Amino acid sequence: MTAPVPVAMSATLAADEEFARRRLAGERVLFLATGEIGLPVLPELGEQLARAAHRNAYGPVAGTAQLREAAAGYWGRRGLVTDAADVVCGPGSKPLLFALLMAVGGDVVVPVPSWVSYAAHARLAGLRPIPVPIRPGQGGVPDPAGLRAQVLEARAHGRNPRAVIVTLPDNPTGTIAGPETVRELAQVARELDLVVISDEIYGDLVFTAGHRAVSPAWFAPERTVVTTGLTKNLAVGGWRLGVARLPAGAAGSALRARLVSIASQIWSSAAAPVQAAAAYALAEPPEVLDRVAASRRLHERVARKVAEVFVAAGAELAPVQATCYLYPDFEPLRHGLSRVHGVNGADDLARLLSTRYGVALLPGTAFGEGGRSLRIRAATSRLYGESDAERSAALAARDPLALPWIKAAVDRATEVLTDLTAPIRSAR
Amino acid sequence: MTAPVPVAMSATLAADEEFARRRLAGERVLFLATGEIGLPVLPELGEQLARAAHRNAYGPVAGTAQLREAAAGYWGRRGLVTDAADVVCGPGSKPLLFALLMAVGGDVVVPVPSWVSYAAHARLAGLRPIPVPIRPGQGGVPDPAGLRAQVLEARAHGRNPRAVIVTLPDNPTGTIAGPETVRELAQVARELDLVVISDEIYGDLVFTAGHRAVSPAWFAPERTVVTTGLTKNLAVGGWRLGVARLPAGAAGSALRARLVSIASQIWSSAAAPVQAAAAYALAEPPEVLDRVAASRRLHERVARKVAEVFVAAGAELAPVQATCYLYPDFEPLRHGLSRVHGVNGADDLARLLSTRYGVALLPGTAFGEGGRSLRIRAATSRLYGESDAERSAALAARDPLALPWIKAAVDRATEVLTDLTAPIRSAR
């Protein structure tokens, strides 16, 4: 007897839509709930899309040769030599990740915490997500020892885990798992014959060159699929374009063929004009590199500043190394939060911040944390301005924190967190 | 124990890619395999896309308000009064159809023959497609009596059929089920509490106004979902844009909420610049209506001419009323095809036409027919020219059949079918 699949609306997209409604209603909201990048389209990139408006054919399911070659070059410049034949394009890395899980076809280990959609993808595909906590500060990579233990236990119970997802750099923690953790992960994946799906969409948003994420494709090239897109580095999430790099070799080819078959049935191809613009972007001409660098600097300034605000309020926070996310833990304030505010978990905390203060962010439960955890995720990428003019000014500013609208947001965050935690801290 | 889902590459997209390879290799191929519309983008529509290149936000999962209002107007002008709140947009009607099956969450009755992806969608979603043959000439709608019998039998065996898909007008037969058949279908769906998913993507390509397809939404509005897009009427399949019209009322709202949740997890939204262009198109300004009318006339002339060629060769063919498809049945020539060519089914026939004559079309097996059937599908929408200049000339021509490249294609089809069938017919 078949039954509807269990599914909930994407927590981030639901938050986006709620924010739009509240703003329309005239409410003042400090929106830290989702990582949509609030920056304008690079003009040269927009021109490429406009010039490709006449492209109306589906083209190959895996994407045009031009796009796949550009993607291969993009990875090659990052030390992952890639054959264009091993690249598959899709309308966002999100559908690619979903289809990859279907193509692999077994249960999948997901880090805790991790992005809202991995576990949902597994359930939609009729698979079981197996949660494995990260090591502290090693966001996006399940603790390799925990991975081994959970996979062996699942197999002992007759389940068939076949993949592990990692996020490098990480959403929601804004950290980057170190090379040693990644190497161990890759080793365990090889030992247990798991496919590694490495979501590297934040790869270009690492603040310090020395911290660059090391892909598991370095350590287990025969079994690692890497995905990325233009959503984060170039702020064109609404264009819907992702690319996947499949492993070379026989197993990789077989997986690629399955992925392309599934893609052919679910979405046919990514929008042809967008593919043309993406080929331009992934070739990384100077103006694209400049834009990515400018947005990276902006993310760093604002994310680190807001991180300071949370730390000053008494939350614990692993140093933010990339992305536009912070993942503060209010555990040190647990007793006071409970006593003063009746807050006993992240859901309570997020609700209080939203209703009392108009501050929107997501509770750790959205990322797979247990209900008692006091971790929340704050995204700072929507603070850059309301208009394209403000956003362009934020990109160009030597000191974006001095811009009135960004300063106002940071001040408001400070005010709210002070109001929330001062009574707790003074009573300690 | 989980296992990879069964899936094969979309037969039409696979044929497209094979055709591209054969052409690159310099081979002369008469390509009748897929219904991609070989016509240029309407310039004003391309301009709308170009003007929307700055749109980089996801926007609502269901699509922008502007697009949903335009779609509501589109359906309203066709007698289906629609609230914009009941519209859901996606990157093609294909992903919408897949997600709808997931959202309904039960086994699904599909017509035989029917479009290559319905049954594949069901299997990908972990559901069982239940094939029910059409009545002769009533393409796209499972025989209502067969529908009732099959659903009752499936339920008696503990299965849970919950939906039926119809295609109006029909791919692959190019026919339109009559209002009486549609009414009966809707009645049985109501009696058995099935959701009707009505794929109406060819709705604007009906040759004679008097033949307009009647939607099951007329007869069972509370349970009918209608889908369409810009792929067929405006030839922008490669832009990937579809819309679904969910039923008004509580059940419809619940289904819509599930559809939007699934969409939020699988694809987030359709490309924002494409949504803006689609809003323009679905508002149907005069130049859009003119273009659709011109392409409809072109499809009619060419499809009917090629249909004549198949009939002259001895195949049986229901009169083509819409789309750019013919579905000739070589049953009258079965004995000779077997004796002279060793052809005993549509797969054999399609293979012979491809290898001996360079004529690409799809066997009925791709549409769910049994292996012994001698039905094949020919699509004529790729005969309009190789260049945009030729294709524009085809659109503008008073007599497109007189254009040298279209005449050559028709002559080649005649020559091939004569060569194939003359020895058979002369020996009878």
Please list the helix, strand and coil fractions of chain B in percent, rounded to the nearest 5, in that order: 50, 15, 35
User: Can you give the pLDDT at residue A12?
Assistant: 86
**Cβ-defined contact of A5 to B104 (cutoff 8 Å):** no
Among A414, A423, A261, A278, which Cα is nearest to A338's? A423
Q: What is the Cα–Cα distance from B327 to B316, expressed in whole angstroms?
A: 9
Q: Mind telling me how many Å the CA of B76 is from chain A's nearest CA?
A: 27
Q: What is the Cα–Cα distance from B358 to B29, expressed in whole angstroms?
A: 5
Q: Which residues of A touch B110 (CB under 8 A)?
A: none
**Cβ-defined contact of B268 to A9 (cutoff 8 Å):** no
What distance separates the 2 farthest-apart alpha carbons in chain B? Answer: 67
Q: What is the Cα–Cα distance from A202 to A177, expressed in whole angstroms?
A: 13
Q: What is the Cα–Cα distance from B40 to B308, expressed in whole angstroms?
A: 27
**Cβ-defined contact of B56 to A50 (cutoff 8 Å):** no
Prediction ipTM score: 0.96
Per-residue pLDDT band at B1 (split at 50, 70, 90): very low
Q: Mind telling me how many Å the CA of B428 is from chain A's nearest CA?
A: 43
Per-residue pLDDT band at A3 (split at 50, 70, 90): low
SS3 label, residue A258: helix
For residues A239-260, give the mean pLDDT: 97
Q: Mind telling me how many Å the CA of A355 is from chain B's nearest CA?
A: 22
Check whether B422 has a pLDDT greater than 70. Answer: yes
User: Can you give the pLDDT at residue B238?
Assistant: 97
Instruction: Please provide the average confidence, as pLDDT, over all residues in chain A.
Output: 95
- What are the pLDDT digits (tens) for A320-378? 999 999 999 999 999 999 999 999 999 999 999 999 999 999 999 999 999 999 999 99
Q: Which residues of A touch B266 (CB under 8 A)?
A: 94-95, 98, 121, 124, 266
User: Can you give the pLDDT at residue A1?
Assistant: 41
For testing contact with chain B, the best of A265, A275, A280 (most B CBs within 10 A) = A265
Whether the CB-CB separation of A213 and A200 falls below 8 Å is answered with yes
Q: Mind telling me how many Å the CA of A171 is from chain B's nearest CA?
A: 16
Check whether A5 has a pLDDT greater than 90. Answer: no
Among B252, B276, B301, which Cα is nearest to B409's? B301
Q: Which residues of A touch B55 (CB under 8 A)?
A: 238
Whether the CB-CB separation of B147 and B185 falls below 8 Å is answered with yes
- What are the pLDDT digits (tens) for A42-101? 999 999 999 999 999 999 999 999 999 999 999 999 999 999 999 999 999 999 999 999
In which residue ranges of chain B is CATH 3.90.1150.10 found?
Answer: 11-40+287-427
**Cβ-defined contact of A265 to B5 (cutoff 8 Å):** no
Cβ-nearest to A8 among B14, B92, B261:
B261
CA A399 to chain centre: 26
For residues B358-368, give the mean pLDDT: 96
In which residue ranges of chain A is CATH 3.40.640.10 found?
Answer: 47-284
For residues A249-276, give the mean pLDDT: 97
Q: Please state, in angstroms and as integers, the Cα–Cα distance from residue A236 to each residue in A55, A171, A277, A369, A414, following that order.
A: 19, 18, 11, 29, 30
Q: What is the Cα–Cα distance from B162 to B103, expressed in whole angstroms?
A: 11
Under DSSP, the state recorded for A79 is T
For residues A112-133, give the mean pLDDT: 95
CA A84 to chain centre: 25
User: Can you give the pLDDT at residue B221?
Assistant: 98
For residues B96-104, give the mean pLDDT: 97
Phi, psi for B416 (deg, rounded to 5): -65, -45
Per-residue pLDDT band at A425 (split at 50, 70, 90): confident
Three-class DSSP labels, B181-217: HHHHHHHHHHHCCCEEEEECCCCCCECCHHHCCCCHH
Q: What is the Cα–Cα distance from B243 to B67, expressed in whole angstroms?
A: 9
Per-residue pLDDT band at B8 (split at 50, 70, 90): confident
Q: What is the Cα–Cα distance from B305 to A230, expressed in whole angstroms?
A: 46
**Cβ-defined contact of B117 to A265 (cutoff 8 Å):** yes
Cβ-nearest to B124 among A4, A265, A270:
A265
Q: What is the Cα–Cα distance from B301 to B296, expressed in whole angstroms?
A: 9
Dihedral sign (CA A165, A171, A172, A173)? positive
Residue of A nearest to B13 (CA): A264
Residue of B nearest to A116 (CA): B265
Residue of A nearest to B105 (CA): A4
**Cβ-defined contact of A46 to B57 (cutoff 8 Å):** no
Q: What is the Cα–Cα distance from A244 to A258, expressed in whole angstroms?
A: 13
Looking at residue B157, its amino acid is: H
- What are the pLDDT digits (tens) for B142-155? 999 999 999 999 99
- What are the pLDDT digits (tens) for B259-283? 999 999 999 999 999 999 999 999 9
Phi, psi for B315 (deg, rounded to 5): -80, 155
Whether the CB-CB separation of B220 and B196 falls below 8 Å is answered with yes
Under DSSP, the state recorded for A6 is P
Report strand pairing: A195-199 vs A129-133.
unpaired
User: Can you give the pLDDT at residue B425?
Assistant: 78
SS3 label, residue A289: helix
Topology annotation, domain A47-284: Aspartate Aminotransferase; domain 2 (3.40.640)
For testing contact with chain A, the best of B42, B56, B89, B291 (most A CBs within 10 A) = B56
Residue of B nearest to A37 (CA): B57
Q: Mind telling me how many Å the CA of B78 is from chain A's nearest CA?
A: 26
Cβ-nearest to A274 among B1, B13, B271:
B271
Check whether B4 has a pLDDT greater than 80. Answer: no
Cβ-nearest to B261 among A9, A50, A272:
A9
**Cβ-defined contact of A265 to B94 (cutoff 8 Å):** yes
**Cβ-defined contact of A271 to B238 (cutoff 8 Å):** yes
Q: Mind telling me how many Å the CA of B122 is from chain A's nearest CA?
A: 10
Q: Which residues of B touch A129 (CB under 8 A)?
A: none
**Cβ-defined contact of A1 to B91 (cutoff 8 Å):** no
Q: Which residues of A touch B235 (CB under 8 A)?
A: 56
User: Can you give the pLDDT at residue B3?
Assistant: 53
Under DSSP, the state recorded for B331 is G
Check whether B137 has a pLDDT greater than 70. Answer: yes
- What are the pLDDT digits (tens) for B369-401? 999 999 999 999 999 999 999 999 999 999 999
Residue of A nearest to B103 (CA): A4
The domain covering B11-40+287-427 belongs, at the CATH homologous superfamily level, to Aspartate Aminotransferase, domain 1 (3.90.1150.10)
Indicate the burial class of B426 (C-beta count within 10 angstroms; 0-12, 13-18, 19 or more). exposed
Does the structural domain B43-283 have CATH classification 3.80.30.20? no
For testing contact with chain A, the best of B68, B109, B264 (most A CBs within 10 A) = B264
Looking at residue A143, its amino acid is: D
Per-residue pLDDT band at A189 (split at 50, 70, 90): very high
Cβ-nearest to A53 among B7, B50, B124:
B50
